Amino acid sequence: MNKYLEINPEVQAALKENKPVVALESTIISHGMPYPQNVETALKVENIIRNEGAVPATIAIIKGRLKVGCTPEEVDYLGKEGAKIPKASRRDISYLVSKNLSGATTVAATALIAAMAGIPVFATGGIGGVHRGAEETFDISSDLEELAKTKIAVVCAGAKAILDLGKTMEVLETKGVEVIGYKTSFLPAFYSTSSDFPVNHRLETPEEIASLMKTKWELGLDGGVLVTNPIPEEHSIDRKIIDQAIEQAHEEMVSLEITGNKTTPFLLAKIKEITKGKSLNANIALVYNNALLAAKIAKAFAEII
């Protein structure tokens, strides 16, 4: 066992007994929305997973410890501190741990820590990917690299809509990451149910997804599986409206010369402002939807391994 890893007893017992567990990230708590809405959302996500018969494991770095299964008090701490807690990707883990600092884990860091603990399923909102203008900035999320080498199924509503979805799909293909569409043949566009980009394979049930995961890893193939789950239709935002909001936000970001890991928080906040909160409501709805599907996949996977 990694000496820096601290697994919640409930999660530890579930893993020992081969019960379904779903990993959850913490960046969405500290950087995704204001307090106390962030904490309320995080705890509701956990309840959705529990109600489906699985165990939630919110992951974060707290005072130098890799926490797998944060307590309600730790979730509240992450929510209250908000953006004061740095976003933590793979590159940041050793520094934060060595300094006994805290970090809100991104998709990449959450996937890595979940895999360390032996958790095969992870639910999030949307993954990072290739940013618009990456041919000049080379701004490509480490989420894609992590998916290429870590054995985990990530359930999401596609890549964040602020990204270049076509280039993101190209990188995933190059890395050998299967992009599965749950009951869809096209990549969901985060706030919208569909994009113009086809997924690799369409699957109709959690059981089919669990079977693919098992088969891939039994074949000795490294890397994860990306399960894309469209936002429920009643919560989606018209593509034309959201594309206009993203374009406006992106132009302002460029004019302000905002770069690096500050781009996503700025763009999401600006889009929320432009859409008068509709984008945040959509974000919350899709996270709930992904948590539900992830719990079903985790249950199906636990039954066949």
Q: What is the 3-state secondary structure (H, E, C) of the chain?
A: CCCCEEECHHHHHHHHCCCCEEEECCHHHHCCCCCCHHHHHHHHHHHHHHHCCCEEEEEEEECCEEEECCCHHHHHHHHHHHHHCCEECHHHHHHHHHCCCCEEECHHHHHHHHHHHCCCEEECCCECCEECCHHHHCCECHHHHHHHHCCCEEEECCECCCECHHHHHHHHHHHCCEEEEECCCECCECCECCCCCECCEEECCHHHHHHHHHHHHHCCCCCCEEEECCCCHHHCCCHHHHHHHHHHHHHHHHHCCCCHHHHHHHHHHHHHHHCCCHHHHHHHHHHHHHHHHHHHHHHHHHHHC
CATH of the domain at 270: 3.40.1790.10
Domain boundary at 85, 119, 153, which? 119
Same domain, yes or no: 135 and 224: yes
Domain co-membership, 261 together with 150: yes
Among candidate residues 62, 89, 119, the one where a domain is terminated? 119
Instruction: State whether 43 and 93 are in the same domain.
Output: yes
Q: Percentage of the chain with pLDDT > 90?
A: 75
pLDDT exceeds cutoff 60 at 1: no
Same domain, 172 and 299: yes
Given 102, 119, 136, the domain boundary residue is 119
Q: How much is the pLDDT for 32?
A: 83
Indicate whether 258 pLDDT > 90: no
Distance CA 107, CA 153 (A): 11
**Within this chain, do residues 197 and 303 fall inside the same structural domain, yes or no?**
yes
Phi, psi torsion values for 181, nearest 5 degrees = -100, 120
Q: Are residues 9 and 103 in the same domain?
A: yes
Q: Is 90 exceeded by the pLDDT of residue 13?
A: yes
Count of structural domains within the chain: 2
Report the alpha-carbon distance of residue 82 to residue 103 in Å, rounded. 10
Same domain, yes or no: 146 and 72: no
pLDDT digits (tens, 9 = 90+) for 46-96: 999 999 999 999 999 999 999 999 999 999 999 999 999 999 999 999 999
pLDDT digits (tens, 9 = 90+) for 131-170: 877 777 788 899 999 999 999 999 999 998 788 899 999 9
Look at 20 and 246; give whichever has higher pLDDT: 20
What residue numbers bound the domain in which 105 lies? Answer: 1-119
Do residues 32 and 47 share a domain?
yes
Q: What is the pLDDT of residues 286-295, one digit of tens each?
A: 999 999 999 9
Report whether pLDDT(266) > 90: no
**Do 240 and 266 fall into the same domain?**
yes
State yes or no: pLDDT of 185 exceeds 80.
yes
What does the pLDDT read at residue 235? 94
85 and 134 housed in the same domain: no
Per-residue confidence (pLDDT) for residue 165, from 0 to 100: 92
> Based on the domain organization, do 104 and 151 belong to the same domain?
no
140 versus 39: the higher-pLDDT residue is 39
Supply the residues annotated as catalytic: 25, 160
In whole angstroms, how far apart are CA 205 and each of 125, 218, 300?
A: 20, 20, 10
Share of the chain above pLDDT 70, in %: 99
Same domain, 59 and 207: no
Predicted pLDDT of residue 262: 77
Written as six digits, the tokens of 184 are 């869809």
**From CA 293, how far away is CA 229, in angstroms rounded?**
8
Mean pLDDT value of segment 222-249? 92
